[in-house]
């Protein structure tokens, strides 16, 4: 496993319940601020194997980025279960809920 991938996994695992981080924020914390898409690929391919709290990762605008309606709803409900308010447009207030490790 590449060091960047290992670091991304560690960062995602460290996001506490009730908080979110953005793809770009995770990439920056892992040492490559321009690798937000790589974070998305890592999250997609390794969430199950590493039991990642994938639902705590959103885009830079504070929105749920998933296009699939079933998975979108799963993420929205998982965030709501952790008391993260998600608007009807799928937006999370980053000023309140963003995690800063």
**18 burial via Cβ count (<10 Å: 0-12, 13-18, 19+):** middle
Q: What is the pLDDT of residues 56-88, one digit of tens each?
A: 999 999 999 988 999 999 999 999 999 999 999
Position 1 pLDDT exceeds 90:
no
Beta-sheet strands, E only, within 1-101: 21-22, 57-58
Tell me what pLDDT residue 60 has: 96
CATH of domain 3-97: 1.10.10.10
Alpha-carbon distances, residue 68 vs 48, 64, 86 (angstroms): 18, 11, 17
Domains of the chain, residue spans: 3-97
Tell me what pLDDT residue 67 has: 87
Residue among 38, 8, 13, 15 at smallest CA distance from 99 = 15
Q: d(Cα 32, Cα 82) in Å, to the nearest integer? A: 29
pTM (predicted TM-score)? 0.93
């Amino acid at each position: 496993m590449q060091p960047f991938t290992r670091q991304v996994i560690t960062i995602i695992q460290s996001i506490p319940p009730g908080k979110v981080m953005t793809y770009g924020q995770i990439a920056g914390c892992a040492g490559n601020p321009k690798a937000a898409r790589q974070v998305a690929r890592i999250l997609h391919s390794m969430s199950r194997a590493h039991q990642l709290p994938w639902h705590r990762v959103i885009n830079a605008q504070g929105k749920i980025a998933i296009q699939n309606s079933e998975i979108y709803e799963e993420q929205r409900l998982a965030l709501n279960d952790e008391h993260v308010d998600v608007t009807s447009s799928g937006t999370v207030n980053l000023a309140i809920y963003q995690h800063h490790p």
